[in-house]
C-alpha cells in the first residue's frame, strides 16, 4: 500500500517533534519533512510534494493563511489545520476552512504534548482521510441561505404534538469531540437523532463508524430515505444536505445535493429548517461549538415552530461562534454546558 507523504509546518520545534512522533506510529504515514515556516516548506516542496500538509496558521507574521491560499490556487493539496485556540486564531481558522482546508484541529497554547497524545487518534484519522480527498481549485461562491434548498414554513409549524420526538444537533469546529461526549452519554433507549457536523466528503463515514464503536446507541452516516428511530443517530454525509421529512407519524431523512448554504454542505440551517417544518413542537434543537453563524436562523425557526432549543455554553465550547449567533437572535430557550446536553436529550423520550 502506498504510504501517505506528510509535511508538517509549525513554528514550534516541540510541536513539530510531537506531531512527528504521533504520525510515526501509523505505518501508512511517512513524514517527509517538518519545517518552521511556509518559506522553508516551499523550498522543500520543490524537491518532494506531500500528499497531505499539516499546517499551523497562527505562526508569527500570519504566514500560514497566505500560504494555504497559494497552495489552493497553484496545486490544490489536502491541508489539515492544527492551530492554537485564540480569538485571532478562531477567525483565521475560519478563513482557512473557507479557503479550502479539509479539517481543523484546535490545540491549546499550554500542555501541547499531553493534548496531542490524548488526541492522537483524531489527528491520525484526519490525515488518513485527508489523503483520500481530491481537492479542486477553490471557487468563490455566493453565500446562499436555506431558501436555496427549501422554503420556510408558511406558519408556525402546525405540527400536532405526538409521542414521536426527534433531536437535531448542529456543530462545526470542536464538534467531533463534543458529539463524542454527548452521544456516549446516551443509553440504548434514546430519542432518534439527526446531526450535521461540518466535515468534508469521506470524513463522515469514518467518524460515524468510530462513534458507533464507542456508543450504546447506533451511530451511522445517513442514507437517503433512512427512517429516524429511537436509539439511532444519523450523521449527514459530507458534501450532502440532510433534511427531515415526516410521513404520517414517522420521520425519514432525505440526503440531497444542492448549493452550499452559509458556505457549507451539509448545512445546519438546512437541517434545522426541515425539522421546524416537519416536526415542530415534537423536536429538540441543539446548536453546539463551531465557527460562523450556520444554524442560528434555523434554530430560530425551530423555536418559533414550538421546538425546545438549546445552545452549548461558552465555557465548554472550543469555538463559541454558532451558539453565540443563535443566542443573539433569541433562538435559544436554554444555555447548557456540554455535559448536560445528554440529559436534556433524554427529556425528549
- The residue count of the chain comes to 349
Say whether both 58 and 106 belong to one domain: yes
Rounded to an integer, what distance in angstroms lies between the CA atom of residue 242 and that of residue 207?
Answer: 16
In a domain, 40, yes or no: yes
CATH code, domain with 169: 3.40.50.180
Claim to verify: residue 82 and residue 26 sit in the same structural domain: yes
Q: Is 306 strand, coil or helix? A: coil
Q: What pLDDT does residue 157 have? A: 45
Please indicate, yes or no, if residue 139 is contained in any of the structural domains. no
- Give the pLDDT confidence score for residue 309 in this predicted structure: 98
Q: Specify the pairing of strand 227-228 against strand 166-171.
A: unpaired
Q: Are residues 84 and 167 in the same domain?
A: no
| 174 inside domain | yes
Q: Are residues 177 and 268 in the same domain?
A: yes
Domain total for the chain? 2
Cell 452549548, residue? 312
Domain that holds residue 102: 4-130
- Closest Cα to residue 348, out of 216, 254, 233? 233
Contact 180, 113 (CB under 8 A): no
Q: Burial of 137 by CB count in 10 Å (0-12 exposed, 13-18 middle, 19+ buried)?
A: exposed
**Residue 21 CB contacts under 8 Å (≥ 6 apart), including other chains:** none
Q: Is residue 279 part of a domain?
A: yes
Task: State which of 130, 160, 177 marks the end of a domain.
Answer: 130
Rg of the chain taking only CA atoms, in angstroms? 20
- Sequence-separated (6 or more) residues with CB below 8 Å from residue 132: 202
Active-site residue, from 83, 172, 185, 316 = 172
Distance CA 84, CA 281 (A): 40
Active site residue 198: yes
Angle between helices 64-74 and 87-99 (to 10 degrees): 0
* pLDDT (tens digit per residue) in 76-115: 899 998 877 544 445 565 667 767 788 877 776 667 777 6
Residues 6+ apart with CB under 8 A from 163: none
Beta carbons within 10 angstroms of residue 24's beta carbon: 12
As a whole number of angstroms, the distance between CA 136 and CA 1 comes to 24
Please count the CA atoms within 13 angstroms of the CA of 18 that sit on its side-chain side: 19
Is 226 annotated as catalytic?
Answer: no
| Residue 22: CATH number of its domain | 3.40.50.2300
Contact present, 296 and 287 (Cβ < 8 Å): yes
Which of the listed residues 130, 160, 175 is the one where a domain comes to its end? Answer: 130
**Residue 322 forms part of a structural domain:** yes
Same domain for 304 and 168: yes
Instruction: Return the exposure string of 228-267: e unless at least 16 CB atoms fall within 10 Å of the residue's CB, then b.
Output: bebbbbbbbbbebbbbbebeeeebebbbeebeebbbbbbb
- Number of other CB atoms surrounding residue 160 within 10 Å: 8
Considering 130, 160, 190, which residue would you say is the last residue of a domain? Answer: 130
Same domain, 108 and 158: no
Please tell me the distance from the alpha carbon of residue 250 to that of residue 143, in angstroms, as a whole number.
33
Catalytic, out of 165, 294, 313, 316: 294
**How confident is the prediction along the chain (349 residues), in pLDDT tens digits per residue?**
689 999 999 988 888 888 898 899 999 999 999 998 888 888 899 899 999 999 988 765 446 777 887 888 788 899 998 877 544 445 565 667 767 788 877 776 667 777 666 677 888 888 988 888 877 665 544 567 777 777 777 654 445 555 579 999 999 877 888 999 999 999 999 999 999 998 877 778 888 999 999 999 999 999 999 999 999 999 999 889 999 999 988 999 999 999 889 878 899 999 999 999 999 999 999 999 987 899 999 999 999 999 999 999 999 987 788 999 999 999 999 999 999 999 999 998 7
Please tell me the predicted confidence (pLDDT) of residue 122. 80
d(Cα 112, Cα 71) in Å, to the nearest integer?
A: 27
Cell numbers describing residue 111? 500542555
pTM of the model: 0.67
Is residue 312 one of the residues assigned to a domain? yes
172 in active site: yes
Residues 6+ apart with CB under 8 A from 67: 9, 38, 41, 42, 55
Question: In this structure, is residue 195 part of a structural domain?
Answer: yes
Q: Tell me whether residue 215 is in a domain.
A: yes
CA angle 204, 118, 108 (to 5 degrees): 90
Together in a domain, 283 and 175: yes
Do both 116 and 161 map to the same domain?
no
Determine the distance from the C-alpha atom of residue 80 to the mean position of all C-alpha atoms in its chain, rounded to a whole number: 13
DSSP structural state of residue 338: G
The answer to whether residues 176 and 226 belong to one domain is: yes
- Among 119, 165, 198, 264, the active-site one is 198
279 and 154 within one domain: yes
Are both 152 and 295 inside the same structural domain?
yes
Same-domain status, 294 and 172: yes
What confidence score (pLDDT) does residue 62 get?
Answer: 46
Amino acid at each position: 500500500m502506498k504510504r501517505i507523504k506528510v509535511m508538517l509546518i509549525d513554528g514550534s520545534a516541540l510541536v513539530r517533534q510531537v506531531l512527528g512522533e504521533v504520525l510515526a506510529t501509523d505505518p501508512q504515514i511517512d513524514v517527509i519533512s517538518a519545517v518552521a515556516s511556509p518559506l522553508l516548506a516551499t523550498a522543500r516542496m520543490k524537491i518532494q510534494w506531500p500528499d497531505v500538509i499539516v499546517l499551523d496558521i497562527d505562526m508569527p507574521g500570519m504566514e500560514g493563511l497566505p500560504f494555504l491560499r497559494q497552495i489552493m490556487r497553484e496545486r490544490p493539496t489536502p491541508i489539515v489545520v492544527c492551530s492554537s485556540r485564540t480569538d485571532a486564531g478562531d477567525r483565521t481558522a475560519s478563513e482557512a476552512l473557507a479557503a479550502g482546508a479539509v479539517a481543523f484541529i484546535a490545540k491549546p497554547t499550554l500542555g501541547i504534548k499531553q493534548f496531542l497524545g490524548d488526541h492522537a487518534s483524531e489527528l491520525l484519522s484526519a490525515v488518513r482521510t485527508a489523503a483520500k480527498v481530491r481537492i479542486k481549485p477553490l471557487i468563490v461562491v455566493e453565500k446562499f441561505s436555506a431558501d436555496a434548498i427549501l422554503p420556510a414554513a408558511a406558519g408556525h409549524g402546525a405540527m400536532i404534538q405526538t409521542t414521536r420526538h426527534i433531536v437535531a444537533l448542529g456543530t462545526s469546529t470542536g464538534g467531533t469531540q463534543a458529539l463524542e461526549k454527548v452521544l456516549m452519554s446516551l443509553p440504548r433507549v434514546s430519542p432518534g437523532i439527526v446531526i450535521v457536523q461540518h466535515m468534508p466528503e469521506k470524513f463522515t463515514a469514518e467518524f460515524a463508524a468510530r462513534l458507533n464503536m464507542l456508543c450504546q446507541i447506533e451511530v451511522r452516516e445517513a442514507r437517503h430515505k433512512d427512517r429516524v428511530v429511537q436509539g439511532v443517530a444519523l450523521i449527514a454525509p459530507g458534501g450532502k444536505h440532510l433534511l427531515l421529512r415526516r410521513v404520517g407519524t414517522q420521520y425519514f431523512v432525505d440526503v440531497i445535493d444542492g448549493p452550499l448554504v452559509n458556505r457549507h454542505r451539509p448545512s445546519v440551517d438546512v437541517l434545522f429548517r426541515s425539522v421546524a417544518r416537519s416536526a415542530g413542537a415534537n423536536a429538540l434543537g441543539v446548536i453546539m461549538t463551531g465557527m460562523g453563524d450556520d444554524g442560528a436562523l434555523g434554530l430560530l425557526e425551530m423555536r418559533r415552530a414550538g421546538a425546545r432549543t438549546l445552545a452549548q455554553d461558552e465555557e465548554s465550547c472550543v469555538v463559541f461562534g454558532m451558539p453565540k449567533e443563535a443566542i443573539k437572535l433569541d433562538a435559544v430557550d436554554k444555555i447548557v454546558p456540554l455535559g448536560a446536553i445528554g440529559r436534556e436529550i433524554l427529556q425528549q423520550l
